[in-house]
Structure 1
Amino acid sequence: MTLDPPTILALTVALAAAAALYLAVEWRSVREPSLLFWSAGFATITLGSTLALLRSSGFLMIGIWFANGLLVAAHLLFLLGVARFTQVRLSRLWWLLLVAWLGMLMLPADLPWSKAMLGVQSLLVALPTLRASFLLRPHGKSLSIGAVQLRYVLLIHGVFYLAKALSVLIPGTLIDLAAFKGEIIQVSLVEGAMAIMLIALSMTGSERYRREQQIARLAARDPLTALYNRRALDLRAPRLLAQVSPAQPGALLLIDIDNFKGVNDLYGHTAGDRLLIALSEMIRSVVPRGALAARLGGDEFVILLTPASSEQIIELGSSLRDQFYQLAAQTVPTPQPVTLSIGANLFDQPPASLTALIEQGDTTLYESKRGGRDSIRLVDRRTMQAP
């Protein structure tokens, strides 16, 4: 089978339709809007490439102007998908590209205007494509190999169309859009088919990686407070505990809400949940960079940090207690005050296990509650003396 222009266009139709269908199926399962934009873009290419075949039968208005206008629209949809993927808001001025293309409808359909038509259309495709590649630039290292691939495929694709727009300025260049004649047109058809495959694969890889990352984040987070759960703490704590030494002590703070049941009894579990969320936000605001904070379950939370000092622990615990007491007293007043009890351990040797360390924290926390609640109890296990 000869790869003449109509054959290449037919191949392009098949590839674009397959890409549109696959991305639409992916969108139905994950409901990620970027997939929907990209699927719509490939569907638009499918329609445009199908209509382009009609130019050989003399339907120039549909086969040239309308078909090429759809190609511009498809790349705008790709740009919208990338903007959604990178969470960037685009200017509405980008829609002026379609208005510019409508202006091309005023041009006659004869051969002398083929160069102008190809030059303008190539430029209108290059601009959104290069912009999409630029939007992906800060995300290449942080997201996935697929995002990097998509960025460079779009960059090469955009540069190709920019070069094609400039090539029409070369004197003596044969460009006949009606009959698919001219090396520029034939090379563009081949490049378009290859670009469809590469762009579709890169888009799919990027979204799959993001979905896997989202699933991993959800599995590691407490669904109510978005702090780490116990499983995630078990996985991350060993690396932090391995850094503990006499020169760099570590600390574990076990935090429990006093009289929390009274909140649920008087105001309902929704109010209790709001209080847990508020406490988790307070914890995030006071823990230093590199520390671990997790919800162990119920109304019990843990903070693990290194390096640490007794002064830092007392300051951190007191700040939490003060903030929480004021919030609880204002929002959910109860006969018995809703406060925090904190049991803290300071140590300079890596513990036998995280479980053993939490058990020590439980003992210290119990001493804090037994001493009257609304307090912080610190045990300095570097000297085995309690202040």
Structure 2
Amino acid sequence: MMIDPKKLAIKDFVYELPEERIAKFPLPERDQSKLLLYRQGQIVDHTFTDLPQLLPPNTLLVFNDTKVVQARLLFQKETGGFVEIFCLEPVAPYREVQLAMQQTGNCVWKCLVGNNKRWKSGKISLRFDGGMLQAEREAQQEGHFLIRFTWEPAELPFAEVLERCGKLPLPPYLNRDLTPEDHTRYQTIYANQQGAVAAPTAGLHFTDRVMASLQEQNIAAAYLTLHVGAGTFRPVKADVMEEHEMHAEQLYLTKPLLQRLLKQLGKPIIPVGTTSMRSLESLYWLGAKVLQQPALPMQELQVSQWQAYETKEPPAAAEALNALLQYMERQGTNYLHASTQIIIAPGYTFRICGGLITNFHQPESTLLLLVSALIGEDWRKVYQHALQNNYRFLSYGDSSLLLP
């Protein structure tokens, strides 16, 4: 019987997660976390350093090289009270994160505002080493504000301003203050492209030692960029998935990545993390879209929430990826920026990915739906085993290698 993902009830994806099983702090060494291997229904416990020996031969691992930005800004008002502004995504002059991060002088971002009632009107200021940042509300929209930032020295790029005066946005469920250690530990060792407000946490376990060991096993690596948005923590409030709106995230890919994926088809392609998996599957659906609409404008390169389930005759993976390559050639570019709202849930057919490296996710989350899409009802067996065997959960928790 075909599963209709729109009719899935989120209450069917619940398990009991005791507070003490949430990893509040990272382990002293990244690669010493536990690794649960799920292979064709069997579960075996390992340590993360075992990963290179456990991957199928000739695997290509695909990493998300996004870098978490210091997106929390704490402004003090003249009266002494604080207003917290959390930058979600850029609006003007650029919506594209990579460009918005290089913007100088001023910009507008979609933001969440804490203590908004205390901010009566006008501008608020935040002094930082060698300069000052000012914020002004331009508009209130559903659940957020548009905030115009201006700063001195005006020649500083916005990325540098955030670096100097922002704070790292830890996941809300950690429920604790930032420590100096978080600045290195809540980034992957290969983080490179600034723009995420949450880390691609499956990558937090990788160390130089593990990377060297992967090379020795002839396990290849490729990189893409998906800027993880705050929506990744958004709980599903709708009873059925049809009523839940997925957050859109910005995705960047290069021509060499597509060429590498084409060469790898037929051999294992394993994403590191749910963000890499959503990106890889989105590449396929972008290819399917440009196959149908060869003249699609670049600003319309987006994967909608239900596109994967509504496409009547999906093309072969090679055909879709080739279509995307040809599209890039027609556009005269080696690099594409797109957005994806893809929801991967039971009923989804994987087009590119043959497994997944991931942490243990919150109950009733879209990430749990994704795991279930990959390994079916066995997700319960995996999570039960993890709970009974002292695995640590969520962002700073332990890892799993899922090979259906």
Higher-RCO chain (CA-CA 8 Å, sequence separation at least 6): 2
Q: Which structure has greater helix proportion?
A: 1
* Same fold at TM > 0.5: no
Q: Which structure has greater strand proportion?
A: 2
TM-score where L is the length of structure 1: 0.21
Q: Which has the larger radius of gyration?
A: 1
